């Protein structure tokens, strides 16, 4: 649990840093854009003042000079018109040949939304200078979002690359450890099988030897499971009800007698393609978790049914339950609510069902102090009996 929380906090810290960088980009760019917008307004106001001064004096030479100054503006779009809406001059506007007047009027409305027009007052008339943002200012306004987009893509690629590398290293480690464990178990199991044969000849109580033989067969199954990790086993057709019953039957005799098992299954057989040793691992893991959640006392119900092309296996306990926020977390590697444990059981179960059986596993429902239902979904094979 602590390991999982540390990883979670590290991810949150990483996200906070990325947000802080993005916010700083926005802040700096907005400040710069505001300062540039103020400068552009001052330029237009100066031009308007120069026009007003020239008009008031009636000096055509000064007016020509002012118009040249306006024409020298290469970036700020300007529309100069009188109080009746007649256009006197436009600067830095690509006006279409068709519907030019309608285009200019739309631009005036657009400019008014972004910038307050500058008024030129004269005893005889009133004129208005409408202006928009320069191309430089527009680019500056868009740059922060482009930077954030690039930063987001970079962070995501880096995060995914780091996660992929880490997962690949972990997978190699687990595969190597699993295969080595399977190899190491092989020798004592072979020796125990020989001793079982010897005891069958010497002992009078066959039941004791029979139980020992079941445990050794169990060890062989565990060895087979470990040997298959990292490889792609070829699933074959099996009857799901019998596989669930078989997986539970071994545990039923080896856990608390205060745990009651209930099986709710249809009469007709239900087939799916599975790897028996890996599938039983999942059933056993969910069963053990249910026993732990009930603290060795309660009821576990196995409900197997099908709808259209899907087989559903519901495993319900009467344990302590969980909150909805834990529904997905419990399948994360390292997450555990136990004082002891690696927090890998449900993570492996999820991987086995999704990667090896192309199915789904999830928490269907859970209520605190009432119980939890885990559901496994498998693809149903519509046949009456398996083919040899």
Q: What spatial distance separates the first Cα and last Cα of the chain, rounded to whole Å?
A: 46
Token readout for 42 is: 């001052």
pLDDT tens for the chain, residues 1 to 388:
444 455 556 666 766 777 777 777 777 777 777 777 777 777 777 666 666 666 665 555 555 665 565 556 667 788 888 888 888 878 778 888 888 888 888 888 888 888 888 888 877 778 888 888 777 777 766 777 777 777 777 777 767 766 666 666 556 556 655 655 665 566 566 667 777 776 777 766 677 677 677 777 767 767 776 666 666 667 889 999 999 998 898 788 778 889 999 999 999 999 999 988 889 889 988 998 999 999 889 999 999 999 989 999 999 999 999 999 888 888 887 667 665 555 677 888 898 899 889 999 999 999 999 999 999 999 999 875 544 4
**Cα(298)–Cα(370) distance, rounded to whole angstroms?**
11
pLDDT of the residue at 286: 94
Can you tell me the distance from the alpha carbon of 169 to that of 179, in angstroms, rounded to the nearest whole number? 16
pLDDT for 4: 46
Q: How far is CA 107 from CA 36, 44, 46, 98, in A?
A: 21, 17, 22, 15
d(CA 138, CA 10): 37
The answer to whether 2-133 and 234-379 have equal CATH topology is no
For β-strands 310-317 and 271-274, DSSP reports them as unpaired
CATH (one of 3.30.450, 3.40.1130, 3.30.70, 2.60.40) for 2-133: 3.30.450
**CA-based nearest residue to 344, from 122, 177, 186, 219:** 177
Q: How many residues does the chain have?
A: 388
In contact, 374 and 362? CB cutoff 8 Å: yes
Query: Per-domain residue ranges for the chain?
Result: 2-133, 139-213, 234-379
- Alpha-carbon distance of 19 to 229, in angstroms, equals 39
Count of helices and strands (H, E) across the chain? 8, 11
How far from chain centre, in Å, is Cα 12?
14
For the domain spanning 234-379, the CATH number is: 3.30.565.10
């Amino acid at each position: 649990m602590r390991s999982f929380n540390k990883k979670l906090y590290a991810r949150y810290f990483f996200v906070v840093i990325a947000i802080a960088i993005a916010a700083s980009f926005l802040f700096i760019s907005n400040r710069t854009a505001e300062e540039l917008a103020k400068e552009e307004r001052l330029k237009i106001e100066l031009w308007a003042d120069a026009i007003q001064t020239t008009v008031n004096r009636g000096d055509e030479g000064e007016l020509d000079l002012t118009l040249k100054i306006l024409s020298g503006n290469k970036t700020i779009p300007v529309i100069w018109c009188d109080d009746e809406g007649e256009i006197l001059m436009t600067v830095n506007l690509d006006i279409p040949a068709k519907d030019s007047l309608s285009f200019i009027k739309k631009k005036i409305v657009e400019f008014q939304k972004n910038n307050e027009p500058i008024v030129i007052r004269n005893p005889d008339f009133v004129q208005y200078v409408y202006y928009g943002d320069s191309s430089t200012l527009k680019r500056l306004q868009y740059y922060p979002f482009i930077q954030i987009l690039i930063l987001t893509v970079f962070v995501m690629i880096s995060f995914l690359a780091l996660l992929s590398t880490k997962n690949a290293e972990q997978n190699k480690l687990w595969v190597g450890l699993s295969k080595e464990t399977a190899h190491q178990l092989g020798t004592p199991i072979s020796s125990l099988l020989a001793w079982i044969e010897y005891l069958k000849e010497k002992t009078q109580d066959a039941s004791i030897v029979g139980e020992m033989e079941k445990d050794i067969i169990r060890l062989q199954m565990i060895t087979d499971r470990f040997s298959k990790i990292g490889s792609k086993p070829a699933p074959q057709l099996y009857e799901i009800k019998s596989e669930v019953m078989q997986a539970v039957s071994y545990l039923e005799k080896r856990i608390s007698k205060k745990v009651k098992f209930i099986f709710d299954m249809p009469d007709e057989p239900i087939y799916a393609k599975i790897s028996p040793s890996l599938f039983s691992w999942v059933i056993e893991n969910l069963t053990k978790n249910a026993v732990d959640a009930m603290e060795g006392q309660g009821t576990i119900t196995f409900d197997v049914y099908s709808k259209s092309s899907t087989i559903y296996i519901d495993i319900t306990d009467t344990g302590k339950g969980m909150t909805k926020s834990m529904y997905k977390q419990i399948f994360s590697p390292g997450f555990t609510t136990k004082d002891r444990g690696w927090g890998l059981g449900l993570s492996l179960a999820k991987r086995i069902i999704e990667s090896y059986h192309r199915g789904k596993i999830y928490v269907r429902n859970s209520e605190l102090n009432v119980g939890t239902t885990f559901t496994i979904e498998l693809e149903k094979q519509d046949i009456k009996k398996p083919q040899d």
